Structure 1
Amino acid sequence: MGQSGRSRHQKRARAQAHLRNLEAYAAQPHSFVFARGRAGRSVRQLSLDLRRVMEPLTATRLQIRKKNSLKDCVAVAGPLGVTHFLILSKTETSVYFKLIRLPGGPTLTFRINKYTLVRDVVSSLRRHRMHEQQFVHPPLLVLNSFGPHGMHVKLMATMFQNLFPSINVHKVNLNTIKRCLLINYNPDSQELDFRHYSIRVVPVGASRGMKKLLQEKFPNMSRLQDVSELLATGAGLSESEAEPDGEHNITVLPQAVAGRGNMPAQQSAVRLTEIGPRMTLQLIKIQEGVGEGNVLFHSFVHKTEEELQAILAAKEEKLRLKAQRQDQQTQNVQRKREQRAAHKKKSLAGMKRAQAEAEGDSDAEDPGAPAEAEGVGQQEEEEDEAEYFRQAVGEEPDEDMFPKAAKWKRPAGPPGKKRRVKERKPDRGSDQRPPKAKGRHPGAQAKVGPRGAARDHRRGRPWPPKRVA
């Protein structure tokens, strides 16, 4: 097989670049956008439109079931690297929007006074610009009027800034900025205006005919004699096709931008087209933790210093009791562990003592043993000596020579069980023959078993008599 087109160094560099991209993607903020409770069709559609705004750093196909609690979502968000929750809910009075920072909070609760879905915004436009390439990169966040109006306003600005990845204005690629998210704060009404726009860059300083030529759709010049008529007079073009530009949206491009005529160091106009959704928010309260905790700020409930001190003291007392219960539980666990260890040690000592007693009593004489069992070892030894005497001399020993072997008899076995009789082997020098088995037919041949016992195939029963003709 031939070698691959890339060298080893190229493959290594590509792998390292892929790893750096994965690390950079993991370092960016990610979010979950979902609705909880009986939100209704419009609020659920608003949550889907809000996911569209947060793309691509959000879970676009996230599904939350009714039985899933907020703790379940927090447990899943940790391994996935999710940093923010955007939760929509609906009550009998209003619609609410919660912005939660994971894993330790805080939680910002907003009331949605007004909202408009994407389909309603797009249907109101004469010409809208929305395509899939706009949602490949996160939007550009623009915060307006977030001045020194209090710590709660500063905290709101910080929370919205952390929703999206930070950019370096000196190294940013303008082709990656296709959308813009504008959040405007009104100090008088204390409301937030949430707007989502599509960004388009077009060259300026050219006639309407030249702009028409630079567009993707070429104009119809069938009624013109020469192309100069289109460039000079703009014949056949409506006034609505030439959008007014001014100093508010004209800038000099520092680099080339995708689009016909957008060259670096040339003037171009930045045009915004709203693509939705649209919301008007009002901050209600700020809490510590994830969905529960001490209230840091409330728009409608204001407490005195004494009430705040009482709440703080009650919280400290609650934490002290919790720590005391944890210490008591730790002591109980340690005490039970020590009791189990002592019980195990005591049990092992008792087992060893019982085993030692059993081994010590095995050599002692049992006083309650029957008389037949006394001296069993001596009787077996004398019986062996008597058997050796028979084989060596060829005669039976005298009764006085081995008295215990002569008197000892084999203990009776269980009833109904036949006993095998050992047959004495004759000496080689003697003419003695083994005795014939009793109760057998004279003509029958005895079979000798593995231990020398005489038996036949009918298991000791006599043969039937022969018939005489």
Structure 2
Amino acid sequence: MGKPKRGRCAKRNKNKATEPDELVQAPHSFVIHRGLPGAHILELTKDFRRVMEPYTATSLKERKKNTIKDFLSVAGPLHVSHICIFSKTSLGMYLKIARLPRGPTLTFKIHNFSLARDVVSSLKKQSVVEEAFKHAPLIVLNSFSGEGLHLKMMASMFQNMFPTINLLTVDLNTVRRCVLLNYNSTTKMIDFRHYSIRVVPVGISKGVKKVVQGKVPDLSRCNDIAEFFTKAGMLSESEAEDDPQHQVTVPQKLKTRGTLEQEKSAIRLSELGPRLTLSLIKIEDGLLDGEVLYHDLIHKSEEEREEIQRKREMKKKLKEKRKRIQEENKKKKEELKAQLKEKSMKGQKEKSELRVDTSEQKEEMKIDKNQEENAEVEDDDREYYREEVGEEPDKDLFSSRPGGYKRKFRPPPYGNKKRKTEDGQQRDRNQNQRDTRDGHKKSDGFKSKKRETFRKGAKGGGGERGFKRGGKQSGKGKRVDKTNSANRDNRPVGGNARNYRR
């Protein structure tokens, strides 16, 4: 069989069913909110989604009835590895960061925060470039190298929330944002900041820099174009030359105008927001539940920890036992259902076989009975023929067919008419005799009813014939003829007058 031909659209289609490895291996995240409603927590959730772009669900539609299991069920196909939950209670706001699908979970308390719109509006020069959000930010951790298990877990969680970079193969054009996390060991506070990164050339004047970067210069305060390039007093304090420590040598060619490869350039940061001040409350071993590995406010002894661990193990064993019993009961029900089904199918099969056998027996009995009746009739006819004629009759003389069985009864084509039995015929004959003896025949119902009505009217004073009973003029009990029927000829029209009596 030949290879099927592909159309033009199929050949030109560049879409692939498989995703690139870089996209699959990158950490994805869900950012949701829970607890008491409020405008600030909604905006803070949206700003944090902006920070986690592009590997996050920016337009995630969440409802109150959605549970963590709902997000966990779709996390696998979408390659989601972390979930960030903002919650608000009567005591304050909290941030939970959990690793999917089995934890651990870090709970932070939010002491202070500023929304992105407030941060951007407070800057003198606002620089928000949409191109910067097409790539993941660079994570920078400061002072997380102290002793303690909670510091190591925090550093590992924050690092794994963002994709890793390879310093040898990284493209500097994709590094446009950075997230800074600073830990203060004295106050145990974490400062969260979000910046955009710009690379600007150094060693040139402000005028040259503007011309190089493609900006239109303002020559209203200059007499000559040379004065615009050489005048250093036009620089503001914020645009003065940076400290040499802030200058770097760019190893690659960047898209920014004025920056050259292997030349020194300055790094400028512009804050995008939001700002957060966090403090670690506790670390749990599981997903939003499990053994508490660290708690900043509550400290338990070894005995209390062992007791909690023992209760947790008992609860886990009880859960496994119930699950095992449930599976056994389910298996028993399925076996019982299969047995009942097999029994039902067997009964139906036996019933159908019995029905077929019964019908065949009835047909055989009917045929045998017909044959017996035909044989009796033929025997009687043959005996009569022998007595009268004195010789044996032919073989097929008294049978309608050579087979010797009776022809089946066929109803008449004009329809079935109920035949009267002998009892019904005798009953009709007795009724006719009684009617003849009484001197009249039984009439139909309509005529009988009419005559009965007429008799009642005659006995009751002729109310239906126009007569009126009683009255002062005619005397009590006498009839008054208002129709003048006494002078009318009562002979029937077309009838015989000799049989009429007045």
TM-score by length of 2: 0.69
**CA–CA distance in structure 2, aligned partners of residues 178 and 299 of structure 1:** 36
Task: Give the corresponding residue for 2:77.
Answer: 79
Q: Is the 8 A contact 1:95 1:112 kept in 2?
A: yes
Deviation at 1:114, TM superposition (A): 0.7
Aligned pairs for 1:444-459 within 5 A: none
Q: Is the 8 A contact 1:88 1:96 kept in 2?
A: yes
**CA–CA distance in structure 1, aligned partners of residues 110 and 222 of structure 2:** 55
Change (3 A) 1:380 1:231: same
Once the two structures are overlaid, the 10-residue window that deviates more, 89-98 or 207-216, is 207-216
Question: Which of 33, 52, 55 is the equivalent residue of 2:53?
Answer: 55
Change (3 A) 1:382 1:153: same
Aligned pairs for 1:29-428 within 5 A: 29-234=27-232, 237-240=234-237, 242-347=239-344, 375-377=369-371, 405=399, 417=416
Paired residue type of 2:43: Q
Paired residue type of 1:376: N
Paired residue type of 2:107: T
Paired residue type of 1:248: Q
**CA–CA distance in structure 2, aligned partners of residues 279 and 290 of structure 1:** 24
**CA–CA distance in structure 2, aligned partners of residues 418 and 37 of structure 1:** 86
**CA–CA distance in structure 2, aligned partners of residues 341 and 20 of structure 1:** 43
Q: Is the 8 A contact 1:382 1:405 kept in 2?
A: no
Change (3 A) 1:400 1:418: farther
Paired residue type of 1:292: D
Deviation at 1:302, TM superposition (A): 1.2
* Percent identity between the two aligned chains: 44
**CA–CA distance in structure 1, aligned partners of residues 238 and 212 of structure 2:** 13
Q: Is the 8 A contact 1:382 1:404 kept in 2?
A: no
Paired residue type of 1:124: S
**CA–CA distance in structure 2, aligned partners of residues 200 and 169 of structure 1:** 19
Could you list the runs of 5+ residues in structure 1 that have no partner in the other structure? 1-7, 385-396, 420-469
Deviation at 1:108, TM superposition (A): 1.0
**CA–CA distance in structure 2, aligned partners of residues 316 and 294 of structure 1:** 11
Query: How many residues are paired up?
Result: 395
SS of 1:80's equivalent?
A: coil
**CA–CA distance in structure 2, aligned partners of residues 110 and 212 of structure 1:** 45
Cα displacement string for residues 172-228 of structure 1 (whole angstroms, at most 9, x for unaligned residues): 111111111101111111111100111111111223333333333232234544433
Task: Give the corresponding residue for 1:456.
Answer: none
Q: Is the 8 A contact 1:382 1:402 kept in 2?
A: no
Paired residue type of 1:151: L
Task: Give the corresponding residue for 1:422.
Answer: none
Q: Is the 8 A contact 2:34 2:86 kept in 1?
A: yes
**CA–CA distance in structure 2, aligned partners of residues 160 and 118 of structure 1:** 20
Change (3 A) 1:255 1:21: farther
SS of 2:35's equivalent?
A: coil
Paired residue type of 1:197: Y
**CA–CA distance in structure 2, aligned partners of residues 320 and 339 of structure 1:** 29
**CA–CA distance in structure 2, aligned partners of residues 356 and 258 of structure 1:** 88
**CA–CA distance in structure 1, aligned partners of residues 238 and 304 of structure 2:** 63
Q: Is the 8 A contact 1:89 1:96 kept in 2?
A: yes
Cα displacement string for residues 283-319 of structure 1 (whole angstroms, at most 9, x for unaligned residues): 1111233222222211111111111111111111112
Q: Is the 8 A contact 1:383 1:405 kept in 2?
A: no
**CA–CA distance in structure 1, aligned partners of residues 356 and 104 of structure 2:** 72
Cα displacement string for residues 346-370 of structure 1 (whole angstroms, at most 9, x for unaligned residues): 455555666666667778799xx8x
TM-score by length of 1: 0.73
Change (3 A) 1:345 1:243: same
| Coordinate RMSD, CA, aligned | 3.8
Paired residue type of 1:331: E
Q: Is the 8 A contact 2:112 2:278 kept in 1?
A: yes
Cα displacement string for residues 225-262 of structure 1 (whole angstroms, at most 9, x for unaligned residues): 44332333336x14236234013311111111222221
Paired residue type of 1:142: V
Change (3 A) 1:381 1:156: farther
Q: Which has the larger radius of gyration?
A: 2
SS of 1:114's equivalent?
A: strand
Could you list the runs of 5+ residues in structure 2 that have no partner in the other structure? 1-7, 379-390, 419-502
**CA–CA distance in structure 1, aligned partners of residues 273 and 416 of structure 2:** 103
Deviation at 1:81, TM superposition (A): 2.2
Deviation at 1:153, TM superposition (A): 1.1
**CA–CA distance in structure 1, aligned partners of residues 405 and 164 of structure 2:** 107
Cα displacement string for residues 28-62 of structure 1 (whole angstroms, at most 9, x for unaligned residues): 11112222232311121111111111111112212
Paired residue type of 1:269: A
